[in-house]
């Protein structure tokens, strides 16, 4: 949800423009500042950024986004397997060749999971080989597993090139020829598929091609419970986050109606978190994808709305529960609010800028800024050079003010 000042919002960021009374209420009593979640030299992807915020150094543990998503889908990866993210994308253009097309929509119109499953099934039946297979995920996000596949291919995330000709962003290097061939051949498989025929009739974006990127091998992460002596869980709508949960030994909680977009079940995520605490969990990593998706689509109004829903439908109920529990049982609590990375509207992709954080401890309230936003956080002296450093303060026994 972090961003840069936007002219259409009178120079405010979406976080500044949004009505966030609960975030602001906490900020007044919290340590607020800026944290560099993505290390220098690491691409600001959701994988390393979330891993960092969870307390794991991506320079040590991160092997790629796709293996995390593969593990979340229950795919048993061998040590020789290379996983690739396989997006269903919409391409546009009147050229005769694949290279002349433009990336119209990296999500194929936020295609439904049911529609996508039928398309990936056809891709697997047509394009799979003995050493290479396709697996359906959620919405537009899927996986390809290639035994002894190349790890050094230069591949571009499709959300980085929205509206641009794809010619300059096609696979390069090791294995590029076979990967590009698969992408081109998928176009013929998908063109007149019944799912796309129906979407075309309804005026929706069609899934015109697969787009392969984000390759990596199976990671090995330290067990969270052993590392921090606390039982925890991950709540999200995104396979990547579930993969991080599986790899770190955290429980994975799926919420009905959680989509990763503006129509996600915000209140359902809050209810799931509260139920988790009620049955004895110590820690919950609650992730919301909607502001990121709005950033990729350049949707200013949607980004502001999603931030307001996080505040009203998630933070509000969870805060009320924790405070009531404290009053009745004496149990103190901590809340850490922050984005994993910025997705500025102006560039429609991730940046590695520092992000604002708000760290509240019920037993150590302090005088903080009057609101939670980028501008307010930048005025404080609090700076953390890494996500794991901030997380250690949040999850550990040391006082919040001790650094």
Q: Which residue, 68, 110, 396, 81, is CA-closest to 252?
A: 68
Domain termination residue (choose one: 216, 237, 261): 216
Cβ–Cβ < 8 Å for 211, 183:
yes
Residue 301 CA: distances (Å) to CA of 193, 351, 369 = 34, 20, 25
Q: Identify the pLDDT of residue 160.
A: 92
**Is residue 368 within 8 Å of residue 33, measured between CB atoms?**
no
Q: What is the pLDDT of residues 232-286, one digit of tens each?
A: 999 999 988 999 999 999 999 999 999 999 999 999 999 999 999 999 999 999 9
Euclidean distance between CA atoms 243 and 45, whole angstroms: 15
Does residue 1 form part of some domain?
Answer: no
Angle among Cα 322, 325, 329 to the nearest 5 degrees reads 140
Confidence of residue 73 (pLDDT cuts 50, 70, 90): confident
Kindly indicate the confidence band of residue 399, based on its pLDDT and cuts at 50, 70 and 90: low
Q: Are residues 229 and 207 in the same domain?
A: no
The per-residue pLDDT for range 345-396, each reduced to its tens digit, is 999 999 999 999 999 999 988 999 999 999 999 999 999 999 999 999 999 8
Please report how the helices 113-127 and 176-191 are oriented relative to each other, as an axis angle in degrees rounded to 10. Answer: 120
Residues 11 and 57 in one domain: yes
**247 alpha-carbon distance from chain centroid:** 16
- Residue at which a domain ends, from 216, 246, 265: 216
Which pLDDT value is given to residue 400?
64
Instruction: Judge whether 70 lies within some domain.
Output: no
Q: Are 86 and 142 in contact (CB under 8 A)?
A: yes
Token couple for 194: 């019944």
Per-residue CA distances from 304 to 17, 18, 300 (Å) = 7, 5, 6
- The 10s digit of each residue's pLDDT in 8-67 is 999 999 999 999 999 999 999 999 999 999 999 998 999 999 999 999 999 999 988 899
The mean pLDDT value of the chain amounts to 95
Among 183, 216, 249, the domain boundary falls at: 216
The predicted pLDDT at position 65 comes to 82
d(CA 287, CA 277): 16
Q: Please check whether residues 205 and 86 belong to one and the same domain.
A: yes
Residue 238 lies in a domain: yes
Task: Give the C-alpha separation, 315 to 298, whole Å.
Answer: 25
Separation CA 179–CA 360 (nearest Å): 47
Rounded Cα gap, residues 325 and 333, in angstroms = 9
Q: Using CA atoms, how far apart are residues 139 and 220, in angstroms rounded to an integer?
A: 27
Burial classification of residue 135, based on how many CB atoms lie within 10 Å of its CB (0-12 exposed, 13-18 middle, 19 or more buried): middle
The two tokens of residue 61 are: 């543990």
What's the pLDDT score for residue 401?
58
pLDDT value, residue 402: 45
- Determine the structural domain holding residue 199 and report its residue range: 81-216
Regarding whether 143 and 104 lie in a shared domain, the answer is yes
Taking only the tens place, the pLDDT of each residue in 280-317 is 999 999 999 999 999 999 999 999 999 999 999 999 99
Residue 96 to residues 91, 99, 102, 106, Cα–Cα distance (Å): 13, 9, 12, 21
Question: In angstroms, rounded to a whole number, what is the distance separating the alpha carbons of residues 273 and 400?
Answer: 23
Asked if residue 17 and residue 103 are part of one domain, the reply reads no
Please check whether residues 388 and 242 belong to one and the same domain.
yes
CA distance 282 to 276: 8
Question: Are residues 275 and 239 located together in one domain of the fold?
Answer: yes
In a domain, 69, yes or no: no
Residue 280, by phi and psi: left (phi above 0), alpha (psi -120 to 50) or beta?
left
Residue 331 CB coordination number (10 Å): 11
Question: Do 299 and 331 fall within a single domain?
Answer: yes
For residue 182, tell me if it sits in a domain.
yes
Is 142 within a domain? Answer: yes
Q: How far apart are CA 69 and CA 87, in angstroms?
A: 12
Co-location of 386 and 328 in the same domain: yes
Domain co-membership, 288 together with 156:
no
Task: Clarify whether residues 20 and 103 are in a common domain.
Answer: no
Tell me whether residue 74 is in a domain: no
pLDDT for 63 equals 87
* Domain count within the chain: 2
Cα 305 to Cα 139, 270, 337, distances in angstroms:
22, 17, 17
| 397 or 312, higher pLDDT | 312
Q: How many whole angstroms separate alpha carbon 78 and alpha carbon 145?
A: 10
Kindly report the pTM of this predicted structure: 0.79
262: domain CATH number is 3.40.720.10
Closest by alpha carbon to 242, among 338, 150, 143? 143
Rounded-to-integer distance, Cα 365 and Cα 401, Å: 10
Do 87 and 212 lie in one domain? The reply is yes
Query: CA-to-CA distance for 402 and 364, rounded, in angstroms?
Result: 11
Residue 122: φ, ψ to 5°: -70, -40
The answer to whether 100 touches 106, Cβ cutoff 8 Å, is no
Residue 403 clears pLDDT 50, i.e. is over it: no
């Amino acid at each position: 949800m972090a961003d840069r000042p936007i002219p259409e919002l009178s120079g405010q960021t979406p976080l500044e423009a949004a009505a966030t009374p609960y975030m602001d209420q906490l900020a007044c009593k919290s340590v607020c500042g800026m944290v560099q979640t993505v290390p220098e030299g690491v691409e600001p992807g959701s994988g390393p950024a979330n891993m960092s915020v969870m307390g794991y150094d991506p320079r040590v543990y991160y092997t790629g986004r796709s293996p995390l998503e593969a593990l979340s889908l229950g795919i048993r990866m061998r040590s020789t397997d290379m996983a690739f993210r396989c997006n269903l994308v919409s391409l546009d253009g009147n050229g005769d060749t694949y290279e002349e097309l433009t990336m119209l929509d990296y999500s194929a119109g936020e295609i439904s999971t049911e529609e996508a499953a039928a398309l990936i099934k056809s891709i697997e039946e047509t394009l799979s080989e003995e050493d290479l297979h396709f697996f359906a995920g959620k919405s537009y996000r899927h996986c390809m597993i290639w035994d002894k596949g190349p790890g050094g291919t230069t591949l571009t995330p499709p959300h980085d090139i929205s509206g641009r000709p794809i010619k300059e962003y096609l696979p390069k290097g090791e294995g590029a020829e076979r990967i590009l061939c698969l992408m081109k051949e998928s176009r013929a498989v998908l063109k007149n598929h019944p799912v796309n025929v129906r979407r075309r009739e309804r005026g929706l974006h069609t899934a015109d091609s697969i787009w392969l990127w984000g390759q990596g091998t199976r990671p090995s992460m330290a067990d969270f419970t052993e590392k921090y002596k606390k039982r925890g869980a991950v709540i999200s709508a995104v396979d990547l986050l579930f993969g991080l949960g599986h790899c770190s030994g955290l429980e994975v909680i799926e919420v009905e109606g959680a989509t990763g977009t503006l129509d996600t079940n915000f209140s359902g995520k809050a209810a799931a978190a509260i139920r988790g605490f009620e049955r004895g969990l110590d820690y919950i990593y609650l992730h919301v994808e909607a502001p990121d998706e709005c950033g990729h689509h350049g949707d200013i109004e949607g980004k502001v709305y999603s931030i307001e829903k996080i505040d009203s439908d998630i933070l509000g109920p969870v805060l009320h529960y924790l405070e009531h529990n404290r009053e009745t049982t004496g149990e103190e609590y901590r809340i850490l609010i922050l984005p994993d990375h910025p997705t500025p509207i102006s560039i429609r992709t991730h940046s590695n800028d520092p992000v604002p954080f708000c760290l509240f401890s019920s037993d150590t309230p302090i005088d903080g800024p009057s609101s939670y936003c980028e501008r307010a956080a930048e005025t404080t002296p609090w700076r953390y050079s890494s996500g794991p450093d901030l997380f250690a303060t949040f999850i550990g026994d040391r006082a919040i003010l001790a650094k």
